[in-house]
Structure 1
Amino acid sequence: MDIKDVIARGENKVVEFKSWVKIPNKKELMEILTNETVGFSNAEGGIILVGVEDNGEITGCQDYDEQSIIESIYDRTVPKVFTDIENITIDGKEILKIIVPKAPETVATSRGTVYKRLGKNTKPFYPGEYQSNIIQGFKGDFSAKILKDTSEFDIDFHEVESLKLKIKSRDKDSTLYQEDDLSFLRDLRLIEDNSDGVRLTIAGLLFVGKKESIVRHLPQAEIILLTYNNDGQTEYNKRLELKVPLISAVDRIQQIFEDRNSIQNIQMGLFKLEVYDYPTNVFQEALLNAIAHRDYESTSSIIIKYYPSEIIIENPGSFPLGIDSNNIITHPSAPRNKLIAETLQRLKYVQRSGQGVDIIFKDMLSLGKSAPEYKLYTEAVSLTLRSSLEDIEFLRFINKETEENGDFSVSEICILKYVKMNKIISLSKAAEVAQITTQSATNVLNVLCKKKNILQRENRNRYMFTHRVYESFDDNIEYTKDKDFDEIQAKTMIIDYLSKNTFMTRADVERLCGFSSTSSKRILKKLREDGTLILEGKSRSSIYKLK
């Protein structure tokens, strides 16, 4: 959600406004921010917007030190609370967004005072009301909670054997599959085995529980697949409800997906490139993200809507605190259900127990498709993937450049896609579209300028494609700069280079000016004809000097 929308909705159980200008004593302000932090920590977590008045008026902050604020809150809380701060500029005024996580145990100020967030206010929290946020099992992880009413009889050992076979085939170095079933499950932390007998964790029930046990203990753990004959249709023609162990559900959905995933052949020079409606790894990452991040305490289900030209995955539970659509690509992973994410990693369904969102963005854009679209609702998140080839030229361009110069990062892909659509990109816009800092964006842009001159400076902190790249696109792509001006600029650059160096080659001109081979030949020919340069040598030994 846009920060302006957050402010417009006012203070609530996870949002607090604090003035910077009305509290000139910054020591007093730090104490207030510490109290609010403690209150959020003992509730659901939240954000403190400093520089915003109670009525939503943005008055801004001045002369602040973000690191000092973080350390001050850290030093004033017991146990220590790690906060994060984002600097946001709105209408020319800077505000601070302090992100407070939910604490796994009761937090107090260093003075021994305890607060808790109640609605839109922070109230004192007294010892008789304390209730630790630590759930039985593992700290802060609902999927690691022990289900006391379960036993060994709730385990489907056919599912256990299936998990063992997957590890055996996918992880040659693992010896897990050689263990007896209960030891295997214990090592994966899917069960707890003590004097009271075997008890399953939430993750254990979801991975190896019997169908009837899942329905009895966690009926909301359901994945619904709906298929539609037409885009925008409200009535589905098929419905599949899966209240089965997770891996069985994933394999079933994956099979249906592969049966419907069509191929389009794109001519790439002398060969054809097969482009699927949806890259298999993109759909798998999106599905596994939904499983690892969904709110299993919600009564809603994961719903997958399969239309002819798009797939929509609706997932119960909002984004983890601190993540939104503006930083979802690069924000550090914060799976809601850590044990589920780690088990998927152990089973080699994912390469890391992270978001995988960077993979989804990179692969969709690289194949000339539109960017994945995330929408955040109060208690849910939806992801839309579209199958249509939006930009075949960009697909051909990325494929050709990857063959010649190696793979691109997700940041590079996002920036190149923007330049392809808008012709010019500023440094600030590059940081925005790649969801990185300005310094990181500068580094990425410099790398792209060096990769066979994909980008060149249009002026200070503004970049565009080089002529070599533009000439690789169809004629309907207009150059953003006048060719005559470019050749005048190139002449100046060449003369300046030769004033410092004895000679240069045509390849040097291509690298220096960002020209294609054809354009470099043309400009060098003109400079020879007007008497600026002389040519020595022939063929590959040709060099150019100032006359």
Structure 2
Amino acid sequence: MEIKEMIQQGETKYVEFKSWVKVNKKELMSILINEAVGFSNTDGGVILVGVEDDGEVTGCDNYDVQTIIESIYDKTVPKIFTDIEVVELADKEVLKITVQKSPEIVATSKGVVYKRLGKNTKPFYPAEYSSNKITGFKGDYSSKIIGPAAKEDIDFTEVEHLKLKIQSRDKDSTLYQSDNITFLKDLRLIDVVEDEIQLTVAGLLFVGTKEAIVKYLPQAEIIILTYNEGQMEYYKRLELRIPLIQAVDRIHQIFEDQNGLENIQMGLFKLEVNDYPINVFQEALLNAISHRDYENTSSIIVKFYPNEIIIENPGAFPTGVDSKNIITHPSSPRNKLIAETLQKLKYVQRSGQGVDIIFKDMLSLGKSAPEYSLYLDAVSLTLRSGLEDKEFLEFITQEQEKHGEFSVAEICILKYVKSNKTITLSKAGDVAQITSQSAISVLNRLCQKNNILQREKRNKYMFTHRVYESFNGNIEYAKDKDFDEIQANVMILDYLSENEYMTRQEVERLCGFSSATSKRILKSLREQKKIVLEGKSKASKYRLNR
């Protein structure tokens, strides 16, 4: 979220304003330490120093960023690492102090513990510490040990089910050959301490009995709601508090029962296009399971509408991830052990977000882009079934048959050009969520494939004529083609001024034209007696008429 937007929304559970000019600096440092402890013990957050409670930007001066970082670090236990960014706003400097959520309870060096309650920081008392109940590996809630859970809370029928999954899906794995306890230990779903079996959060979710899941993690629920056309109220509700793989398989069956199919005629063959690509829905669902906040009392909700699917997930995006970088941001699943277990069970090919797959497959099938809605403590994903752009689907399908798969960055850029006719280098970086240097590389690859060409203005790109003509040549494109054919005349003559001969194929590569357009332009230049044809058929070539 941009700093201006933070200030407009006011103080929240995740944002605190502090004045630099109205407070004694020693007192302010003590306040910043307390606020950092409060954010660490809740869900992390941002302190904006130089902003008044009412949102007025008064700025900071004579500050030392390193001193602030070291003061917070030295006076917290365990140590808090903060990141401070100096942001210029309204000709004033604001300090943006980012605090991450801590996997452990943090106190000040004086032994005082705080937490965030709404937009205020309040004392945090030992009886409220969740770590008194669940302890374990640092930084990953799903790998923490559930103290009271024991061997009798394991559903060993489900353990055998998981072993069969691995045996059938991963021929190279030997995990399934172990006894049940060793198998669970190898997957880190349990820990054995002094001969006592303890379940991790992930272990409870994958192999816990239904009763144990309800007892220890009642919030670990997935709710399925189904709606009829034009109805605001669901007509079917299913609540799943069962082991994760059972839940995923059950939801997948519901999805397949509702996933329609459309046949698209493309030349001599028909292309079958599902309402939703199966792998897109699976990635979206497993992404929700891997990233949800299991300390949040809300449930994952999957809503099936006639023309769209909405997945609502408790827990905000990880720090640093937003709608502008979600495709390319490095993977950082909130529940790493859950993600790794899903990978070992071959439900996902990699331990990550899978958001790039969701974007690429939806756009390449002519669907609208997936829509992410971000909230303070939740994320909502909407997938729409409608075939938004049949021309784009046909174009991508034909191009991939010739040149192989497009990358997600290439798909995003081509989709933007299809809708807006041209794209700049800067916009290409924004659309594909990549750096300018990476955008140059992607644009060059698309130029080499004769999908786009650089326009008369530097760093401005558009489709080649060959691509335009595949889109039924609408009037606006035709105007651009007329202009570019004039430019092409100059390019051809310039080329021949430096090279003795040129073939029609070289004209196609140079100008990005189709065969028919190249023939027409060369014929026009011959009629104007600017070039001369030599040879016949495949041996034909052109030179300047000197």
Establish whether TM, by shorter chain, passes 0.5.
Answer: yes
Instruction: Report the CA distance shift for 1:434/1:507 in structure 2 as closer, same or farther (over 3 A).
Output: same
1:11 maps onto 2:11 in alignment: yes
TM-score (norm 1): 0.86
Question: Following the alignment from structure 2 to structure 1, what is the Cα–Cα distance between the partners of residues 471 and 67?
Answer: 52
Query: What is the one-letter code of the residue matched to 2:157?
Result: H
Deviation of 1:409 after TM superposition, in Å, equals 1.1
Q: Does 1:145 align with 2:149?
A: no
Q: Is the 8 A contact 2:41 2:116 kept in 1?
A: no
- Which amino acid is 1:271 matched to? F
Partner in structure 2 of residue 296 of structure 1: 294
Counterpart for residue 334 of structure 2: 336
Please give the per-residue CA displacement for 1:141-171, whole angstroms capped at 9, x wherever unaligned: 2211211211111111110011001111111
Task: Work out whether residues 42 and 105 of structure 1, in 8 Å CA contact, stay in contact via their aligned partners in 2.
Answer: yes
Where does 1:65-214 land on structure 2 (aligned, <5 Å)? 73=69, 77=73, 99-105=98-104, 136-195=135-194, 197-214=196-213
Retained in 2: the 8 A contact 1:33–1:73?
A: no
- Aligned-partner Cα distance in 1 for 2:308–2:269: 28
Report the TM-score when normalising by structure 2. 0.86
Aligned to 2:366: 368
2:198 is matched by which residue type in structure 1?
R
Q: In the alignment, residue 173 of structure 1 is paired with which amino acid?
A: D
Kindly tell me: are residues 88 and 407 of structure 1, through their superposed partners in 2, closer, same or farther at Cα, counting changes over 3 Å?
farther
Pairwise CA distance, 1:37: 6.2
Task: Out of 431-440 and 218-227, give the one that drifted further.
Answer: 431-440
Aligned-pair RMSD on alpha carbons?
Answer: 3.8
8 A Cα contact 1:38 1:116, kept in partner: yes
Could you tell me how far 1:12 is from its partner in structure 2? Answer: 3.6
How far did residue 99 of structure 1 move? 4.3
Match of 1:248 in 2: 246
Aligned equivalents of 1:351, 1:319: Cα separation in 2: 21
Whether the aligned pair in 1 keeps the contact of 2:114 and 2:124 (CA below 8 Å) is no
Residues 29-75 of structure 1: CA deviation (Å, up to 9, x unaligned): 9999999767744653223557866654568999xxxxx97999589
Q: Look up the match of 1:534.
A: 532
8 Å contact 2:137–2:144 — kept in the other structure? yes
Deviations 1:407-429 (A, max 9, x none): 11111111111111111222222
Residue 385 of structure 2 aligns with an amino acid whose one-letter code is S
Q: Which whole-Å CA distance do the structure 2 matches of 1:206 and 1:490 have between them?
A: 63
Assess, with a 3 A threshold, how the Cα gap between structure 1 residues 317 and 426 changes in structure 2: closer, same or farther: same
**What is the CA distance between 1:93 and its match in structure 2?**
9.8
User: Distance between the aligned counterparts of 1:387 and 1:372, measured in 2?
Assistant: 10
| SS of residue matched to 2:455 | strand
Equivalent positions of 1:442-461 (< 5 A) are 442-461=440-459
CA contact 1:70–1:83 (8 Å) conserved in 2: no
In the aligned structure 2, how far is the partner of 1:487 from the partner of 1:89?
47
Gaps spanning 5+ residues in structure 2: where? 23-27
Bigger CA drift: 96-105 or 378-387? 96-105
1:216 equivalent in alignment to 2:215: yes
Q: Distance in 1 between matches of 2:498 and 2:87?
A: 45
Give a deviation string over 1:157-215, Cα, whole Å, max 9, x none: 11001100111111111100000000000111111112251111111111011111111
2:190 partner amino acid: I
**Which whole-Å CA distance do the structure 2 matches of 1:293 and 1:97 have between them?**
26
CA contact (8 A) 1:34 1:73 kept: no
Distance across 1 between alignment mates of 2:318 and 2:248: 23
Q: CA deviation at 1:218?
A: 1.4
Distance apart, 1:288 and its partner CA: 0.5
How many aligned positions are there?
A: 536
In structure 2, relative to structure 1, the CA distance for the partners of 1:82 and 1:536 (3 Å cut) is: farther
Identify if the C-alpha distance between structure 1 residues 477 and 220 changes in structure 2 by more than 3 Å, giving closer, same or farther.
farther
User: Could you say which residue in structure 2 is the equivalent of 1:26?
Assistant: none
Letter in 1 for 2:348: V
Name the structure 2 match of 1:514.
512
Instruction: Return the offset for 1:394.
Output: 0.4
Amino acid at match of 1:160: V
Q: Which runs of structure 2 are paired with 1:377-416 in the superposition (5 Å)? A: 377-416=375-414
Q: Following the alignment from structure 2 to structure 1, what is the Cα–Cα distance between the partners of residues 224 and 140?
A: 27
CA distance in 1, matches of 2:361, 2:48: 35
Task: Describe the shift of the 1:96–1:325 C-alpha distance in structure 2 as closer, same or farther (beyond 3 A).
Answer: farther
| Residues 214, 130 of structure 1: alpha-carbon distance in 2 compared, 3 angstrom cutoff | closer
Which amino acid is the alignment partner of residue 243 of structure 1?
A: R
**Percent of aligned positions with the same letter in both sequences?**
69
Please state how far the C-alpha of 1:274 moved relative to its aligned partner: 0.5
> 1:459 aligns to what SS in structure 2?
coil
